[in-house]
């Protein structure tokens, strides 16, 4: 099974470099253009299913992609972004002033600390991996019932930390390795889930955004 992990397009908080956890912002104008670029990139793929985080920025991106495919967009709560607690909405400068000790520990090892009032990356990974397992189970059931083609792809629209958490878990990497991966807004990562092993086919694919960044 091929799964394309899509990070949502830009919001105003992304533009302003504010921490964006579970705050529910919509795409801005740039984000909507990025969603359209994603949709064009996936237009000719045989998309068998589309799953999305419940947050608006992900759902909006998912529905733009779905415009070209006759599939239902399924919302899964477990695909939400990391709950950043009290630092949600802050810039790094504001976080340095208000939560300097936490920021120092986060920079040293983001997997070893809990955002004040939020959840840890390990908790997030368990949450999103459960959703991926649910997706895989659903798609296998559909294939067994003849409702899915094994040559198709499943699109999962989610967020920065969920995608990195999924990749680390799928490849058997320690979660701390997520800090060594780059993941741009409106990027795509592709994983082939096989019975024996999972293969990372592409990481941080932004070729569809070339015109957007010129």
Which residues have a catalytic role annotated? 8, 159
Question: Residue 97: which residues within 8 A CB-CB, separation 6 or more?
Answer: none
CB 34 within 8 A of CB 186: yes
- Provide the pairing of β-strand 188-193 with 47-52: unpaired
**Separation of alpha carbons 41 and 35, rounded Å:** 10
Residue listed under structure tokens 């296998």: 140
67 alpha carbon, distance to own chain's centre: 19
Helix (H) or strand (E) holding 157: strand 153-158
CB 25 within 8 A of CB 15: no
CB 46 within 8 A of CB 152: yes
Burial of 5 (0-12, 13-18, 19+ CB in 10 A): buried
* DSSP summary character for residue 178: G
Q: What are phi and psi of 140, to 5 degrees?
A: -65, -40
Assigned token pair, 35: 């969603």
């Amino acid at each position: 099974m091929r799964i394309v992990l899509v990070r949502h397009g830009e919001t105003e908080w992304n533009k302003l470099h504010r921490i964006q956890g579970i705050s529910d912002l919509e795409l801005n104008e740039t984000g909507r253009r990025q969603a359209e670029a994603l949709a064009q990139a996936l237009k000719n793929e045989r998309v068998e299913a589309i799953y999305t985080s419940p947050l608006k920025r992900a759902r909006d991106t998912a529905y733009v992609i779905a415009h070209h495919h006759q599939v239902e967009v399924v919302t899964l709560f477990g695909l939400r972004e990391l709950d950043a607690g009290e630092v949600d909405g802050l810039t790094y400068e504001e976080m340095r002033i208000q939560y300097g000790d936490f920021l120092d520990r986060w920079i040293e090892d983001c997997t070893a600390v809990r955002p004040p009032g939020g959840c840890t990356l390990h908790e997030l990974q368990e949450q999103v991996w459960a959703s991926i397992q649910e997706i895989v189970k659903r798609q296998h059931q559909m294939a067994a019932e003849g409702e899915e083609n094994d040559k198709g792809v499943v699109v999962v629209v989610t967020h920065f930390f969920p995608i990195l958490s999924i990749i680390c878990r799928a490849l058997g990497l320690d979660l701390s390795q997520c800090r060594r991966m780059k993941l741009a807004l409106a990027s795509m990562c592709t994983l082939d889930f096989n019975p024996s092993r999972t293969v990372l086919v592409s990481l941080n694919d932004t070729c569809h955004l070339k015109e957007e960044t010129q």
